Amino acid sequence: MSLQIYIGGKFYDKADAKISVYDHGLLYGDGVFEGIRAYNGRVFRLEQHVDRLFDSARAIHLTIPMTKAEVIAAVEKTLAINGLKDAYVRLIVTRGAGSLGLDPRKTSDPQVIIIADSIQLYPEELYEHGLKIITAGTIRNHPAALNPRIKSLNYLNNILAKIEGTNAGCLEALMLNHQGQVAECTGDNLFIVKQGVIHTPSIDSGILEGITRAAVIEIARSIGLTVVERAMDRHDIYTADECFLTGTAAEVIPCVELDGRPIGDGRPGPVTRDLRRRFHAYVRGDQSA
């Protein structure tokens, strides 16, 4: 059986899962989404992802035609129908089909789409040796233009920075905010460790409030580490003892170089390794972690 895709309450074979070319999600990137993971049959922090989806939708004046409980049930059902236990789930809500004009009032029928597929993991080698990143010239969206807290279908800002990264041979790229402060990477939040204390850009630095970020902050505090959320600049990263990134796909991944400068001794550090191990165990439901 081919992969079954959920669209508006029904399941379709992957080849038949289609929406209108008049959908404003396609025409204007008008919509919101979530990237979620299931581990061993359990969806990690599904409720938080659905809360963030509904917040993103509210912020763009989009009414999701389902309740949160219905969305949660639909995600679970999509995984079950596809027999997936370890999976990547893409939950999308588009504005719906309308006329060839920006006005959302001329659309009808927002589309709720759920794709559950096998997860493509970063090569293990990257976790062993760490990522090298560069600073992109493309800054993160100005919060007064498109707030980075909204996980919208309009990801061009991040894609442009990603292209700068890949052109420089890096899988991730650092994005600054409009004030030149550190915001986040194109699809991951950033942390540093300095003298045993963890620092990460605060929400008002213009970042997505990552769900992995929140889980890592909780885990770190639960083992007695201090986590400071604050405005940061690149100097903080250049002079850090350790640096790591967090995201649904990446989990916790060491970052060992920024703009050609090794971070710490240029190798993944002990705090990063410990947090990665604890996060890994935590998402897989090992309570002893």
Contacts to ligand PXG from residues 260-289, by CB under 6 A: none
Q: Which is nearer to ligand PXG, 111 or 248 (CB)?
A: 248
Rule CB under 6 A: say whether 31 interacts with ligand PXG: no
Instruction: Name the E strands within the chain.
Output: 4-7, 10-13, 31-39, 42-43, 87-94, 97-98, 107-108, 112-117, 131-135, 172-176, 182-185, 189-194, 197-201, 227-230, 242-247, 251-258, 261-262
In three-state secondary structure terms, 250 is: coil
Rule CB under 6 A: say whether 208 interacts with ligand PXG: yes
Rule CB under 6 A: say whether 248 interacts with ligand PXG: yes
Instruction: For residues 84 and 58, give the distance between their C-alpha atoms in angstroms, rounded to a whole number.
Output: 30
Catalytic residues: 151
The nearest distance, CB 273 to ligand PXG, in angstroms, is 19
CB distance 76 to 13 below 8 Å:
no
Q: Which residues partner with 239 through β-bridges?
A: none
- Pair of tokens at residue 97: 């089909």
The nearest distance, CB 197 to ligand PXG, in angstroms, is 22
Binding map of ligand PXG across residues 159-198, x = CB under 6 A, - = no contact: -------------------------x--xxx---------
Rule CB under 6 A: say whether 212 interacts with ligand PXG: yes
Rule CB under 6 A: say whether 211 interacts with ligand PXG: yes
Rule CB under 6 A: say whether 236 interacts with ligand PXG: no
Estimate the crossing angle of helix 46-59 against helix 68-81, to 10 degrees: 130
Residues forming contacts to ligand PXG in the complex (CB under 6 A) are: 35, 158, 184, 187-189, 208, 210-213, 246-249
